[in-house]
Structure 1
Amino acid sequence: MEAPRDLAFEAWTKPEHLSKWWGPQGFTSTFQKFELQPGGTWEFVMHSPDGVDFPNTNVFDEIVQPERIVFRHTVFPHFVAKATFEEINGQTKLTYRTVFEETEAVFEKVKTYAAPGAEQTLDRLEELLAQLVNRTSGHSQQ
């Protein structure tokens, strides 16, 4: 990611940034609770472009600024997610992994939307980071 590690980590940990990019293309999110601490809860509703709401609850297991975030998605589909942030020459290498706890048969169905959804979500993160980098470096057009 063409952004400093601190900024990339901030995009994951500040609700005003996270709400702008979390979810596939066309989705929006309404955050109800965001307790960024081990054992803290992140509750939100993802709203699809066709009007379907998807309630989500995550529990943070680990927050190590600016290195990693680990959380459990406690509603279907159940998974543990880990995001790691590595600084390389002023930019950020983000590694995002999820381990699903569903049966193999259920996972076969889930991955048809989970993998493309995760890719679109991370694309949205890159777009937001480009805007934030522009804003902080004074390159925005006014």
Structure 2
Amino acid sequence: MTLQDAPGRFATLTFTREVAAPLATLWQAWTAPAARAVWAFPTPAVTVEFLEADTRVGGREVSLCKVAGAPDIRCECGWLAITPAARSVNYEVVSTSGETQSAALVTADFSGDGARSRLVVTVQLSSLAGDMEAGYRQGFDAGLGNLADAAERTMVLERVIKAPRAVVWGAWMNPESLPQWWGPDGFSCRTTRIDLRQGGEWVFDMIGPDGTVFPNHHLYREVRPQERIAYSLLWGENGPKHADAWAAFDEEDGATKVTLGMVFSTAAEFQTAKGFGAVELGQQTLAKLERRVTG
């Protein structure tokens, strides 16, 4: 019997999710490494450690799924095609203890209308060590459920700034300039500590126009120069986390497209932030950055 004849070796799986979030937001939740780290685990018993994350054509993502008392499961994802807010295609290879368990081609198709969007994921699976179909069905079904939940509490802001990426990055990742423009109109920053490196932090107070003090603590998990940063937002120094955030910097015809994303820890926190005008206030912050770098 040939491999092609072996029962259970090959399967095509399809998953569909209707998501109460705009298409652009769902796309960011699907592709931004910081967001993927929020929803990638299939169950609470599994922790996922990302070793690499480069969501570009030719880039790859390598992660380890860890379960207490079991060998780590290594997943390598390579991005083959990306059409923003429309489609992505990637390969996926899963291995344990150096033995390849499965290979798959994953195609994700996106569509949306206003505040709602739709995702259809097709997995063409080849099981190489036992029948992996049931595990894939369970894992993708749970992961996409997590994705939908995360997307529905994600806020995304974008702004194209007419300045080179190196200049925009320099204004953001300079410990002297960042506190000078960060925050909405009328707000100022009072810094306690600032270390804008991977593993670093920024402990500061945002002070509103009426003198109200808002304690903040940013923990920087990833810094890829002139590409992206990822950080956690805490309510005050070592306080509870209220969001996982990222900022991406993309060249666009001599300008820089800045994407600022936040996955709030709970739906209630997302609704509260949305209610007090976080989108408008965030755009004011990016406008201050633009004025800083363009004069």
TM-score tier (shorter):
0.7 to 0.9
Matched, 1:34 2:194: yes
In the TM superposition, residue 40 of structure 1 has moved relative to its aligned partner by 1.0
What TM-score, normalized to structure 2?
0.42
Moved more, 18-27 or 112-121: 112-121
Query: Which residue matches 1:57?
Result: 217
2: CA distance between counterparts of 1:127 and 1:36?
21
In the TM superposition, residue 112 of structure 1 has moved relative to its aligned partner by 1.9
Question: What pairs with 1:78-117 in structure 2 (closer than 5 Å)?
Answer: 78-102=242-266, 104-113=267-276, 114-117=278-281
In the TM superposition, residue 77 of structure 1 has moved relative to its aligned partner by 6.5
In the TM superposition, residue 90 of structure 1 has moved relative to its aligned partner by 2.0
| Secondary structure at 2:177 match in 1 | helix
| Secondary structure at 2:176 match in 1 | helix
Matched, 1:119 2:283: yes
Structure 1 unaligned residues grouped into runs of 5+ = 132-142
Larger radius of gyration between Structure 1 and Structure 2: 2
Assess if the C-alpha contact under 8 Å between 1:38 and 1:62 holds in 2.
Answer: yes
Moved more, 12-21 or 106-115: 106-115
| Larger fraction in helix | 1
User: 2:192 corresponds to which letter in structure 1?
Assistant: Q
Assess if the C-alpha contact under 8 Å between 1:77 and 1:110 holds in 2.
Answer: no
User: 2:290 corresponds to which letter in structure 1?
Assistant: E
Structure 2 unaligned residues grouped into runs of 5+ = 1-160
| Secondary structure at 1:66 match in 2 | coil
Counterpart selection for 1:46 from 206, 216, 230: 206
In the TM superposition, residue 105 of structure 1 has moved relative to its aligned partner by 2.9
2: CA distance between counterparts of 1:107 and 1:84?
21
2: CA distance between counterparts of 1:16 and 1:94?
20
| Secondary structure at 1:51 match in 2 | coil
Counterpart selection for 2:226 from 56, 61, 66: 66
In the TM superposition, residue 25 of structure 1 has moved relative to its aligned partner by 0.5
1: CA distance between counterparts of 2:269 and 2:251?
36
Higher relative contact order (CA 8 A, sep 6+): 1
Query: Which residue matches 1:128?
Result: 292
2: CA distance between counterparts of 1:79 and 1:105?
12
Assess if the C-alpha contact under 8 Å between 2:175 and 2:195 holds in 1.
Answer: no
Q: Deviations over 1:36-89 (max 9, x none)?
A: 222211111111010111110010010000110111002267111111111122
User: 1:4 corresponds to which letter in structure 2?
Assistant: P
Question: What pairs with 1:12-31 in structure 2 (closer than 5 Å)?
Answer: 12-31=172-191
Q: Deviations over 1:73-129 (max 9, x none)?
A: 022671111111111222111111111012x23321221232222111111111111
How many residues align? The count is 130
